[in-house]
Structure 1
Amino acid sequence: MSGKRIMDIEVLRAIAVLGVLFHHLQGSLFTDPVPLLERIHAWAQPWWGVDLFFAISGFVIARSLIPALRGCSNRREYWEQTRNFWLRRAFRLLPSAWLWLALMLLACVFLNRSGAFGTWSANVQATLAGVLQYANFRFADAFFHYEYGSSFVYWSLALEEQFYLLFPLVILLCRKHLVWALLALVAVQLFTVRTPLLMVIRTDALALGVLLAMWSVQPGYCRWQPVFLRRPWAGVLALIGLAALLSFMATDRFTFAGYRIGSIAVLSAVLVWIASYDRDYLLPAGRLQRLMAWIGSRSYGIYLIHIPAYQLVRELTFRLQSADLPSPAGHPIVTLLIAGGLIVLLSELNYRLIEMPMRNRGATLVKRLGTSRTVVSSPGATSC
Structure 2
Amino acid sequence: MSSKRIMDIEVLRAIAVLGVLFHHLQGSLFNDTVPLLEKIHGWAQPWWGVDLFFAISGFVIARSLIPALQGCETRLEYWHQTRNFWLRRAFRLLPSAWLWLALMLLACVFFNRSGAFGSLYANLQATLAGVLQYANFRFADSFFHYEYGSSFVYWSLSLEEQFYLLFPLLILLCRKHLVWALLALVAVQIFTLRTPLLMVVRTDALALGVLLAMWSARPGHQRWQPTFLRLPWAGSAVLVVVGLLMSFMATDRFTLTSYRIGSIALLSALLVWIASYNRDYLLPAGGLQRLMAWIGSRSYGIYLIHIPAYLLVRELIFRLQAAGLPSPAGHPMVTVIIALGLIVLLSELNYRLIEMPMRNRGADLVARLGASRAAVSSSGATSC
TM tier relative to shorter chain: over 0.9
Q: Which amino acid aligns with 1:209?
A: G
Distance 2:21 2:81 in 1: 35
Q: Note the C-alpha offset of 1:373.
A: 9.8
Q: Indicate if the aligned counterparts of 2:55 and 2:209 stay in contact, CA closer than 8 A.
A: yes
* 1:217 maps onto 2:217 in alignment: yes
- One-letter amino acid of the structure 1 residue matched with residue 323 of structure 2: A
Which residue matches 2:343? 343
Deviation at 1:3, TM superposition (A): 3.5
Kept in 2: contact 1:81–1:372 (CA 8 A): no
Counterpart in the other structure of 2:287: 287
Aligned to 1:118: 118
The one-letter code of the counterpart of 2:37 is L
In the alignment, residue 261 of structure 1 is paired with which amino acid? I
Task: Name the structure 2 match of 1:9.
Answer: 9
Post-superposition Cα deviations, 1:156-208, rounded to whole Å, max 9, x if no partner, equal 00000000000000000000000000000000000000000000000000000
Between the aligned partners of 2:290 and 2:268, the Cα distance in structure 1 is 22
Identity value in percent: 85
Q: What's the counterpart of residue 70 of structure 2?
A: 70
TM (norm. structure 2) is 0.96
Question: What is the Cα deviation at residue 372 of structure 1?
Answer: 9.5
- 1:277 correspondence with 2:270: no
1:108-155 deviation per Cα after TM superposition (whole angstroms, max 9, x unaligned) = 011000000000000000000000000000000000000000000000
- Letter aligned with residue 75 of structure 1: R
Q: Which residue of 1 aligns with 2:382?
A: none
* Correspondences of 1:311-350 after superposition (within 5 Å): 311-350=311-350
- For residues 149 and 371 of structure 2, the distance between their equivalents in structure 1, rounded to whole angstroms, comes to 41
Q: Show the counterpart of 1:378.
A: none
- Checking the alignment, whether the CA contact within 8 Å between 1:81 and 1:373 is kept in structure 2 is no
Q: Are the equivalent residues in 1 in contact too, given 2:209–2:272 (CA < 8 A)? A: yes
In 2, Cα distance between the equivalents of 1:242 and 1:90?
33
Aligned partners of 1:101 and 1:127 also within 8 Å? yes
Mapping for residues 1-384 of structure 1, pairs under 5 Å: 1-370=1-370
User: Which stretch of structure 1 is more off in the superposition, 275-284 or 363-372?
Assistant: 363-372
Per-residue CA deviation, residues 18-72 of structure 1 (Å, 9 max, x unaligned), is 0000000000000110000000000000000000000000000000000000000
The gaps in structure 2 that reach 5 residues or longer are 375-384
Structure 1 residues not aligned, in runs of 5+: 375-384
CA offset digits 1:228-282 (Å, max 9, x no partner): 0000111111000000000000001011110000000000000000000000000
C-alpha separation in 1, matches of 2:133 and 2:372: 26
Cα separation, 2, equivalents of 1:186 and 1:60: 18
Q: Is the 8 A contact 2:171 2:178 kept in 1?
A: yes
CA distance, structure 1, for counterparts of residue 279 and residue 187 of structure 2: 30
Alignment-mate amino acid for residue 108 of structure 1: C
Cα distance change of structure 1 residues 372 and 130 upon mapping to structure 2, 3 Å threshold: farther
Q: Shift of residue 316 of structure 1? A: 0.1
Map Cα deviations across residues 206-234 of structure 1 (whole Å, 9 max, x no partner). 00000000001111111100000000111
The code of the aligned residue for 1:172 comes to L
* Whole-angstrom CA distance in 2 between matches of 1:136 and 1:87: 22
Whole-Å Cα distance in 1 between the matches of residues 360 and 281 of structure 2?
31
Whole-angstrom distance in 2 between the partners of 1:212 and 1:373: 33
Which letter maps to 1:111? F
Q: Name the CA distance, whole Å, in 2 between partners of 1:260 and 1:372.
A: 50
Whole-Å separation in 1 of the counterparts to 2:311 and 2:372: 43
Residue 4 of structure 1: CA displacement? 1.9
**What is the distance in 2 between the residues matched to 1:371 and 1:312?**
46
* Alpha carbons 1:84, 1:372 under 8 Å: kept: no
- Contact 2:2–2:64, Cα closer than 8 Å, also in 1: no
| 1:97 alignment partner AA | A
Is contact 2:16–2:49 with CA below 8 Å preserved after alignment?
Answer: yes
C-alpha separation between the residues in 2 aligned to 1:2 and 1:160?
Answer: 22
Partner of 2:378: none
Query: Partners in 2 of 1:205 and 1:372 — Cα distance?
Result: 38
Q: Using the alignment, how far apart are the partners of 1:370 and 1:183 within structure 2?
A: 34
Matches of 2:2 and 2:22, distance apart in 1: 34
In structure 2, relative to structure 1, the CA distance for the partners of 1:28 and 1:67 (3 Å cut) is: same
Alignment: residue pair count: 374
Q: 1:372 to 1:134 in 2, by over 3 A?
A: farther
